[in-house]
């Protein structure tokens, strides 16, 4: 919104905001059947993590170290280690619960393969207060420093990348010819 001569900031705040709808190919974003299905799946996913999110009385005393150590461990998963500070709450955010669930799955796999001690297993359902958060934070900090766990995660990432590379390299002679002709 453009400010005209004589308009005050107060008057600008009173003026309604203009909404613009962008249409692509004659359709508004999100109006396709695929977009609707994706929205449904995202809502289901959000509900799943909201259900499994630890509930209790959580303050910065337990949340701050947990977020700090979560960011340290995110690096080992190839993720951006910049999860923001979580304010005092009675339920952990669903996106944070999603991250913790990723840790739970990796720890379970590592325990199953004998890489980690079963005592390192994480049970989100048992976390109800700051003491539970601090215990989880301690485990996560130990995981971030554990050399065997780091190696396990690196091997797991390599295994995930290997099939992609094989698919890229597995071309028929006709496909190879077509690709070479495109380059010329």
- The per-residue pLDDT of the chain, averaged, comes to 83
Do 59 and 65 touch, CB atoms closer than 8 A? Answer: no
User: Per-residue pLDDT averaged across 115-135, rounded?
Assistant: 97
Q: How far apart are CA 79 and CA 72, in angstroms?
A: 10
> pLDDT band at 84, cuts 50/70/90?
very high
**Total-model pTM:** 0.68
43 compared with 66, residue with greater pLDDT: 66
Rounded CA separation 109/56 (Å): 28
pLDDT in tens, 8-32: 444 444 444 545 454 445 555 556 7
pLDDT digits (tens, 9 = 90+) for 36-61: 888 888 888 889 999 999 999 999 99
Give the least confident one: 97-101, 154-158, 178-182. 178-182
């Amino acid at each position: 919104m453009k400010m005209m001569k004589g308009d005050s900031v107060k008057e600008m705040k009173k003026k309604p905001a203009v909404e613009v709808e962008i249409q692509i190919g004659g359709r508004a974003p999100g109006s396709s059947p695929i977009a609707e299905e994706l929205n449904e799946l995202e809502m289901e996913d959000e509900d799943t993590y909201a259900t499994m999110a630890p509930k209790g009385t959580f303050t910065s005393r337990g949340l701050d170290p947990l977020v700090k150590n979560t960011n340290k461990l995110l690096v080992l998963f190839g993720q951006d280690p910049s999860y923001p500070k979580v304010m005092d709450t009675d339920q952990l955010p669903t996106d944070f619960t999603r991250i913790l669930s990723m840790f739970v799955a990796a720890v379970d796999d590592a325990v199953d393969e004998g890489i980690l001690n079963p005592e390192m297993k994480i049970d989100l359902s048992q976390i109800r207060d700051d003491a539970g958060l601090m215990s989880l934070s301690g485990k996560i900090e130990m995981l971030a420093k554990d050399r065997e766990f780091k190696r396990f995660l690196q091997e797991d990432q390599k295994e995930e990348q290997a099939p992609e590379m094989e698919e890229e390299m597995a071309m028929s002679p006709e496909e190879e010819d077509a690709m070479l002709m495109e380059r010329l």
